[in-house]
Amino acid sequence: MSTADGGLATTVFGPSDDERALLAIHGITANGRSWDTVAALLARRRMIAPDLRGRGRSNALPGPYGLRTHAADLAALLDADGGAPRTVIGHSMGAFVAVALAGARPDLVDRLVLVDGGLPLALPADVARVEDLDLGALLGPAAQRLSMEFADDDAYLAFWRAHPAFARDWSPAVEAYARYDLDGEVPHRRASAVAAAMFEDGAELYGPDWYLDALRSLRMPVTVLRAPRGLTDAEPLYPAGALEGFRELVPQLEVVEVDDVNHYTILFADRGAVRVAAAASAHPNPTKEST
C-alpha cells in the first residue's frame, strides 16, 4: 500500500506489527515499487519503500535535491517510524543515499545492504571532470524517457519491454513498477521522475570529499552486491574486482557477486532478488568499533 509520511510518499510492504521495518531506497530515476520482488521474498518483514524527492508520488517536492537532502528526508521518516536502528537497503543511487544516511545518522542504521551502488563510480576514460559528464548518455533509456511523452499506458509499457535490460526478464513486478511510474494525463503520459533531480543527484556519485568521509565513518556491517552486467545489459557499473579496493575506506565491507543479472534484474528478477533478500535478512554482526 502507499502512504505519505514525513513529506515523502511511501509504499509499505508486509505486516504492520514489525517494529523495526527495513528501509529500501530506490535508484536515480526509479520509485518505491522497484522493491516489489524483494518484498515478496521478505513477506514476514515490514519494508518501507519511499519515493525519493523528485520521483514517483514525491515528484512535486521541490529541490534542491542531492544525497544529503534525501538522507535528511529519510531520517525524518525513520524518526517518525520510531527512530530505532534498522537494516537499510539501497539500489544504485539509493545505495549512495543509504551511505549518506548512515554517515549522518548512524543511530538509525544497524546494517547497510548496497545493491550495485554506494561506492564511488569511476569516471569514463574520456571524461576528466564530473562537470563534463554526460549523465543522460550513461543512463541510457532510463534517462531518455524523462524527456518523452507517451500516448497511453500501453505505449509506456512497450518502451520498457524494449529496454535491453528486460529482454528476457519482463514480469508482473516490472509492469507494476512501470505503471506506478506514470504521471500526467492521456495522451501526455510521462515518467514521474524530475530530470533536474536526476542530474543533481548523479553528480554526487563519483566520490566527493564529504562522501568519502561518510564511508570512512561507517562502523556497522556493510554488504555490497555486484551485478556482472550494467544498465543496458552490457558493461557493469563496477568492473570485476573493483569493489575489493574499497576495503581501505570500509574495512568491514562484504562483497557478494550475483551471477547472471544486470543492474536492474539484480532487483527485479527472482534470481537476483533472492540474493538481495538474503543479505537483508542477515543478522547484524557488529564490528569491534561498533560495539
How many C-beta atoms lie closer than 10 Å to residue 20's C-beta? Answer: 14
What domains appear along the chain, each with residue ranges and CATH number?
A: 2-120+195-290 (3.40.50.1820)
Reduced to 3 states (helix: H, G, I; strand: E, B; else coil), residue 112 is strand
CB half-sphere exposure, 218, CA atoms < 13 A: 31
Q: For residues 96 and 38, give the distance between their C-alpha atoms in angstroms, rounded to a whole number.
A: 19
Q: For residues 18 and 16, give the distance between their C-alpha atoms in angstroms, rounded to a whole number.
A: 6
Q: At what angle do helices 93-104 and 67-80 cross, to 10 degrees?
A: 70
Reduced to 3 states (helix: H, G, I; strand: E, B; else coil), residue 197 is helix
Q: For residues 76 and 72, give the distance between their C-alpha atoms in angstroms, rounded to a whole number.
A: 6
Q: For residues 270 and 215, give the distance between their C-alpha atoms in angstroms, rounded to a whole number.
A: 30
Mark out the alpha helices in the chain (DSSP H runs): 36-41, 67-80, 93-104, 135-139, 141-144, 153-161, 172-181, 195-202, 209-217, 265-268, 270-281
Reduced to 3 states (helix: H, G, I; strand: E, B; else coil), residue 22 is strand
Phi and psi torsions of 240, nearest 5°: -55, 130
C-alpha cell at 203: 553528480
* Residues in Cβ contact with 111 at an 8 Å cutoff, skipping those fewer than 6 apart: 86, 87, 88, 220, 221, 222, 223, 282, 284
Q: At what angle do helices 195-202 and 93-104 cross, to 10 degrees?
A: 60
Strand pairing partners for 90? 25, 114
Tens digit of each residue's pLDDT, the chain (291 residues): 566 544 899 999 999 998 889 999 999 999 999 999 999 999 999 999 999 999 999 999 999 999 999 999 999 999 999 999 999 999 999 999 999 999 999 999 999 999 999 999 999 888 989 988 899 888 999 999 999 999 999 999 999 999 999 999 999 999 999 999 999 999 999 999 999 999 999 999 999 999 999 999 999 999 999 999 999 999 999 999 999 999 999 999 999 999 999 999 999 999 999 999 999 998 654 433 332
* Residues 193/53, Cβ–Cβ less than 8 Å: no
Phi and psi torsions of 126, nearest 5°: -95, 10
Phi and psi torsions of 202, nearest 5°: -60, -30
* Residues 184/149, Cβ–Cβ less than 8 Å: yes
